[in-house]
Amino acid sequence: MKIAVCSDHGGFELKTRLIPFIEELGHEVTDFGCYSDKSVDYPDYAFPMAEAVAAGGYDRGIAVCGTGIGVSICCNKVRGIRCALCGDVLSAELTRKHNDSNVLAMGGRIIGVETAKAITKVWLDTAFDGGRHEGRINKIANYEK
């Protein structure tokens, strides 16, 4: 898959560790910044990344800030984005099965690298269940219109 990633300074180190991991899983990664641990504003990176995913240029997005909360708020304001902030593997699996989340948010100051890798792998590998969940996703899309 084509995966867009972004972070602010609080998520920069975790994002830097995740990019080669995602590539090793066989995905193509585009980094929307930031590109150092110098202090920046997370909306400046989360909005362009989420818009690129919503526009169809990427299959999924992964956003990291200090807590994951700021980037997840931004991403969920972009029409067509269903961003899930995950700190555990079960949530990552269930948000793919139930919410068809197309952006994963994580907190670089909250979870460790190994947990983040496990979350990322299951989130990338898990398909949407469809069925009863399809109608719920459609209600979100209708609300956005």
Q: Would you tell me which residues interact with ligand RB5 (CB under 6 A)?
A: 8, 10, 42, 65-67, 69-70
Query: Which residue(s) pair with 65 in the sheet?
Result: 107
DSSP secondary structure string for all residues of 64-98: EESSSHHHHHHHTTSTT--EEE-SSHHHHHHHHHH
Determine whether 133 is an active site residue: no
Categorise residue 34: left if φ over 0, alpha if ψ from -120 to 50, beta otherwise. beta
- Catalytic, 9? Answer no
Q: Which is nearer to ligand RB5, 43 or 93 (CB)?
A: 43
Q: How far is the CB of 65 from ligand RB5 (least distance, A)?
A: 3
Closest residue by beta carbon to ligand RB5: 70
Complex with ligand RB5: residue 116 or 122, whichever CB lies closer: 116
Residues carrying an active site annotation: 65, 98
